[in-house]
Amino acid sequence: MASGNAWSQAKTFVNDFLNGLNMILTQFGPIGLKQEYVGLATFGHDTKQQLLATSNYTAVRDKIENLLLGGPSPLFAGLWFSLAGATSCRATEKTESGVLLCPRIIVITDGKPTETGLRGGPDIQTKGDETLMPILSAVQEIEVMGASVFFVGVGDFDEEFLKLVSASEGREKLFGYQDGRRLAKRTYLCTKTNLFDDSSFIRSASVLSEEDNEDMQDIRVESMARLGQREEMNNAAYFENKNEAFPVIGSRVRRGPDWMFDNQDNAGPGTVVGHSENDFKVWVTWDFNKMTGMYRYGMGEYDVLISDEPRVLKAGEKIAVGCRVKPGRDAGSKDVSGSIQGVVIRMNSKNAHVRWDNGKRGDYSYGADGRYEIELCKSNGQTGDDNSNSSTWGSSTRSNKNKNKHVSS
């Protein structure tokens, strides 16, 4: 992308995008629109997270101006670095009308990536399925994990390639370098879109452009699709694989030697809440932000490793994912009788979903309406108060087979 006018167009897009964010905030900030945070990842001479998400747009411009150009273009690696930055700043939120506000990844590229594993050499496009398929797979997996991916073509970009990787039924995901202000307006348009009421587009027509209304329709389509994906992901994320190579659900983990997700975990521990059905990956919910993601665990690649460390509650928390629990005073199910213990692997406002040591699961009240079907364990150093809770990973119907992989904090 260093050749021709690609780089100047890339900078034009970035400046227009940042100016657009400032303009929208000035206009609608006083009525509640929040400032957006912007980070920067590069794939080229340096393939890394250049700047964590920040509201200091001047810092973003300065970093862009001082980037060293050249080298290959490993787009695959750039996508994953972008995901780490996008998901480190916030989880998905909803507007009052039910539209999902997801982290966005905007890929500015000439659509001419080099071989995935190429570390040096000239920036010569590598064509073929060996380059295309990993990128397609990465885009799909990133979107399943909760981030929206948009592509901006610059210079003499490979339109055919970008249309393939940005293809999405009923949605617009490929833009030009002059669309910076348009994409900057997207979060504001999310707040104007009613998920289940088409008439909102008609009512908005007098104050919004035709392009705005096209984007609102796109937002609506995306949000409806994501609601369905969320349900599918909830089913997938909590799957329990019988393969004993996987760590026991409820195991405590930390980042491992092959970690490539920047500060997504805040360098802290998390809890295994599910297994992949078809490959060696686990779903982990992190303590610090309650975000759930998928990470490699096996076949020689370990994004996470088992850690013998407790789940520590924050001040005011009653219970959280990773806490070990036992039947409470209002327990009534035969599945939770006696001295059995389990681990909380999912939470909502009223119930905790528990995976018991006998392999059974269920949703249980932890204080709603004064009912306590479960309570914190007081064994293994657990106090059962609002300030601390420790959890061991080893209680299960099977033991972890990879004890040589343990790490300690």
Q: What would the DSSP string read from start to end of 297-308?
A: EETTEESEEEB-
Above 60 in pLDDT, residue 384?
no
Distance CA 325, CA 380 (A): 11
Q: What is the CA radius of gyration of the chain?
A: 23
DSSP H or E stretch at residue 182? helix 180-184
- Are the C-beta atoms of 317 and 386 separated by less than 8 Å? yes
Above 70 in pLDDT, residue 130?
no
Above 50 in pLDDT, residue 194?
yes
- The mean per-residue pLDDT over the stretch 136-159 comes to 87
Distance CA 244, CA 58 (A): 51
Confidence of residue 46 (pLDDT cuts 50, 70, 90): confident
Percent of the chain predicted with pLDDT > 90:
37
Per-residue model confidence (pLDDT) at position 304 = 96
Above 80 in pLDDT, residue 140?
yes
Per-residue model confidence (pLDDT) at position 166 = 86
Above 90 in pLDDT, residue 376?
yes
pTM for this prediction = 0.58
Confidence of residue 380 (pLDDT cuts 50, 70, 90): very low
Per-residue model confidence (pLDDT) at position 10 = 94
Distance CA 214, CA 233 (A): 28
